[in-house]
Chains A and B, each alone.
Chain A
Amino acid sequence: MNRSKLYPLLVPTVAVLIALAVASVIIIVIGKNPITAYAVMIKGAFGGAEQLANTIVKMTPLVLTGLAVGFGFRAGVFNIGAEGQMAIGALIGSMVAINMGAVPSIISIPIVIITGMLGGALWASIAGFLKAFTGAHEVISTIMLNWIAANLASFMVTGPLAVGSGTPKSPEIAESAKLPIILKVQATELSIGIIIAVVVAIIMQIILERTTMGYELKGVGFNPYAAEYGGISIKKSIILTMAISGALAGMAGIIDIMGVPPHRFVGELTGGRGFDGITIALIGRNNPVGIIFAALLIAALRTGSNAMQISAQIPDDIVIIIQGIVIFLVAAERIVATIIYWKRKRGELA
């Protein structure tokens, strides 16, 4: 039984190590030294107070998108649209935050976060409704919603919300809607966003493990037919799951705008942070605490890869390849776990 307790940790760790090994082969192919590259990467992510602060700033929305995708997985929904939900959350939240001038922070911050969450939840619910009522696969519908969100976002910053000249952008959000800074290291400001993200992860853990709703959602994820037989409405569960997942992604978007300069909505999609949620959820085994550490790992890879690009001239896209390999291995490795499970069960029966 000891082995089975360690097993969930073992799979993602091995996956990450194999991915790093494959990536180093690719680095050698382009004529660079992988050991130097990884050394620069680690130094760039953890080498000093500023590097560490940068990593934590990057980590903040990743915890939330990881939770968004991981929560969906737990309830049997593959939400690949965190990217679009994050953008819509940031958009709707910003529109409210811009007009929060006279409102004190204590009121304006919660209102802005909630509207951001609602934006993400509504956007994701479209896919939830389609899956529940027409059976449309959420993977295709959420990807389409990502593209629609991207175009909607760029429409908003070139049209109705546009301000100034140069790159399209919205006005800056009101001072009272910005998150308080807990630490300032040179140019990097670390806001309370990270605390909010960690608290949300703990709340998610409690919902999943200690409440009836969490039990029902997990039941549907584990076996929808058994759950329906047990009196749980699958339709309701799918829509609710999508909405909660989207709310978390929307929160990632608005927290990023509230916590990180330039505090404006710039209309682009989120630079792949919604997709990072998939890697993070898989590495963290859909467990909120695991997701916090997985988000730290991916954030470190990302800040570190910036340093690697600058001082070792290795394209930072190497991180995307690493993430892809990790996802692939976890997908295939999950099955290995299933085979072991079935073998053991069959052994018991015989």
Chain B
Amino acid sequence: MSWIEAIFSILVNPLFYKLMLLSATPLIFASLGGVYSESTGVTNIALEGIMLMGAFVSIVFTQITGNPWIGVLVAVIVGLGFSWLHAWASIRWSANQIVSATALIIIAQGITSFLMKPIFGHEGQTDFIGKIGDFEIPFLKKIPFIGDIFGELSPFVYIALGLVALSWFIMYKTPLGLRMRAVGENPEAADTLGIDVYKTRYFGVLMSGVLASLGGAFLSVGELGRFVENMIHGRGFIALAAMILGNWNPAGAMWAALLFGAAEAMNLQLQSSSIVSVSATVKPLFNMLPFVVTLIVVGGFIGKTRPPAADGIPYEKE
């Protein structure tokens, strides 16, 4: 079978679209988080670290309480607290946002691998702890093809898609969204108009913490049911690329996340199916692809995008 036939047979298989949605879901959460933070003018490259904390904490509290939903709730609270550190350093102290976020990524890696042993008794990965089951929509399930994709899915997928719509509405149809964008474009002018620049920025960064930790929780209690060291594997950064490609717009970020999801699903399908024999030797080259795509996107080779004018610039009140 030729490559073209192999790719075609994957494209007509509903499983591919389901995998695409699942691969895109953590990216949708995290890139939405990026949109909230950056549209108020604070860059947050710490998404990777916040996701890792979310993945870890949700598994820990699933273990303790036996209820994965409580795990997710605690993960969101921890994500809130963790991103508050970034907000506090970069808004209150006008810290270098890149350095402060890098610190958070390193702290998240340290804390999660440090606590693995005392909590779960071994390193590397935990046993199966528990996961949130799939959500079934019976009438949808009966429809051919569509039903195979949407009929039975992790509830996180629906939550992510719902949050995209909600975020788009907030961003473009409410006074809050207008304020956020004003603060991200021109904080001085927003300040003059009586908008509290600091509070708005805190809101943006804290929302990024909530959303990114949901993305992390999806990977652990939503998909695997266990925690694996460094399981985010660069997804936080790919989410940032999705945000850029989506032009700092919730819907755009979702489409970009779906594009990355499609690349990952295609990669998985090509490797797992015996359509094309992918030897162990070339596997790393396949695994490289999402990062190459991200590099191309960030490099601006797929259309020009423009960040909010005050993105990454600390604001100091006169």
Q: Report whether A275 and B106 are in contact in the complex, using a CB–CB cutoff of 8 Å.
A: yes
- Is A147's CB within 8 Å of the partner chain B? yes
Take A80-B102, A155-B282, A324-B104 as given contacts and tell me if A137 and B94 are in contact as well, using a CB distance cutoff of 8 Å: no
CA distance A326 to B241 in the complex (A): 28
Q: Is B98 a contact of A78 with CB atoms below 8 Å?
A: yes
B10 interfacial by beta-carbon distance below 8 Å: no
* Residue A211, interface by CB 8 Å: no
Q: Does B292 sit within 8 A of A, measured CB to CB?
A: yes
Q: A144-B298, A145-B295, A335-B93 are in contact. Are A139 and B114 (CB under 8 A)?
A: no
Given contact pairs A26-B114, A323-B110, A151 touches B285 in the complex (Cβ within 8 A)? yes
Q: Looking across the interface, which residue of chain B has its beta carbon closest to that of A276?
A: B106
Question: Which residues of A sit under 8 angstroms from B287, Cβ to Cβ?
Answer: 151
On whether the beta carbons of B110 and A140 are closer than 8 Å, the reply is no
Query: Is A327's CB under 8 angstroms from B99's CB?
Result: yes
Chain A residue numbers with a CB within 8 Å of B106 are: 275, 279, 320, 323-324, 327
Residue from A134, A148, A331 within 8 A of B103 (CB atoms): A331
A325 touches B95 (CB 8 A): no
Q: Taking A147-B234, A335-B93 as contacts, is the C-beta distance between A134 and B285 under 8 angstroms? A: no
B277-291 contact mask (Cβ, 8 Å, vs A): 1 or 0: 000111011011001
CB contact between A331 and one of B96, B113, B237, B241 (< 8 Å): that residue: B96
Contact B45 A155 (CB under 8 A): no
* A134/B301 in contact, CB under 8 A: yes
Smallest distance from the beta carbon of B92 to chain A beta carbons, Å? Answer: 8
Chain A interface size, under 10 / 10 to 19 / 20 to 34 / 35 or more: 35 or more
Q: When A and B form their complex, what is the total count of cross-chain residue pairs whose Cβ atoms lie within 8 Å? A: 141
* B228 within 8 Å of A (CB atoms): no
* Residue on B nearest A279 in the bound complex, by CB: B106
Residues 92-144 of B at the A interface (beta carbon under 8 Å): 93-96, 98-100, 102-111, 113-118
Task: For the complex formed, measure the closest distance between the CB of B175 and the CB atoms of chain A, giving whole angstroms.
Answer: 31
Is the Cβ of B114 less than 8 Å from the Cβ of A320? yes
- Residue numbers in B under 8 Å from A151 (CB-CB): 284-285, 287-288, 291
Q: State whether the Cβ of B240 lies closer than 8 Å to any Cβ in chain A.
A: yes
Complex-state Cα separation, A326 to B99, whole angstroms: 11
Contact residues of A between 194 and 252, Cβ < 8 Å to B: none
Q: How far is the CA of A205 from the CA of B39 in the complex (A)?
A: 40
Known contacts A140-B45, A336-B93; is A148 also within 8 Å of B295 by CB? yes
Query: Cβ of B85 < 8 Å from any Cβ of A?
Result: yes
Proximity bits, A312-350, B CB within 8 Å = 1, else 0: 000101111111111110111011101000000000000
Rounded to whole angstroms, the CA-CA distance of A134 and B303 in the bound complex is: 11
Q: Does B300 reach chain A (CB closer than 8 Å)? A: yes
Q: Which residues of A are found within 8 Å of B114, using beta-carbon distances?
A: 26, 315, 317-318, 320-321
Query: B294 an interface residue at 8 Å Cβ cutoff?
Result: yes
Report whether B113 and A328 are in contact in the complex, using a CB–CB cutoff of 8 Å: no
How many angstroms from the CA of A148 to the CA of B109 in the assembled complex?
20
| Contact A317/B110 with A141-B299, A144-B295 known, Cβ cut-off 8 Å | yes
Residues of A within 8 A of B105 (CB): 324
Residue of B nearest to A131 (CB): B299
Q: A141-B298, A144-B298, A320-B113 are in contact. Are A30 and B237 (CB under 8 A)?
A: no
Interface centre among B89, B114, B116, B234 (most CB of A within 10 A): B114
Most chain B CB inside 10 Å of its own CB: which residue of A322, A328, A338 = A328
Please give, as numbers and ranges, the residues of chain B lying within 8 Å of A319 by CB-CB distance: 110
Q: Does B294 lie within 8 Å of A159, measured CB to CB?
A: no
B288: contacting residue among A152, A326, A332, CB under 8 A: A152
Q: A154-B284, A321-B111, A335-B93 are in contact. Are A147 and B99 (CB under 8 A)?
A: no
Q: List 25 A-B pairs, Cβ < 8 Å.
A: A26-B114, A30-B118, A80-B102, A134-B301, A137-B298, A139-B45, A143-B237, A151-B285, A151-B287, A151-B288, A152-B285, A155-B288, A158-B280, A158-B284, A279-B106, A318-B114, A323-B110, A325-B107, A327-B102, A327-B103, A328-B89, A328-B103, A331-B99, A334-B95, A335-B93
Question: Which 3 pairs between the two chains have the least Cβ-Cβ distance?
Answer: A320-B110, A324-B107, A328-B103
A-to-B contact residues, CB < 8 Å: 26, 30-31, 78, 80, 126, 130, 134-137, 139-141, 143-145, 147-148, 151-152, 154-155, 158-159, 275, 278-279, 282, 315, 317-328, 330-332, 334-336, 338
Further contacts, 20 of them, CB under 8 A, given A140-B294, A319-B110, A324-B108: A78-B99, A134-B300, A134-B301, A135-B300, A136-B298, A140-B45, A141-B299, A144-B294, A151-B287, A158-B281, A275-B106, A279-B106, A317-B113, A320-B114, A323-B110, A324-B103, A327-B103, A331-B89, A331-B103, A332-B93
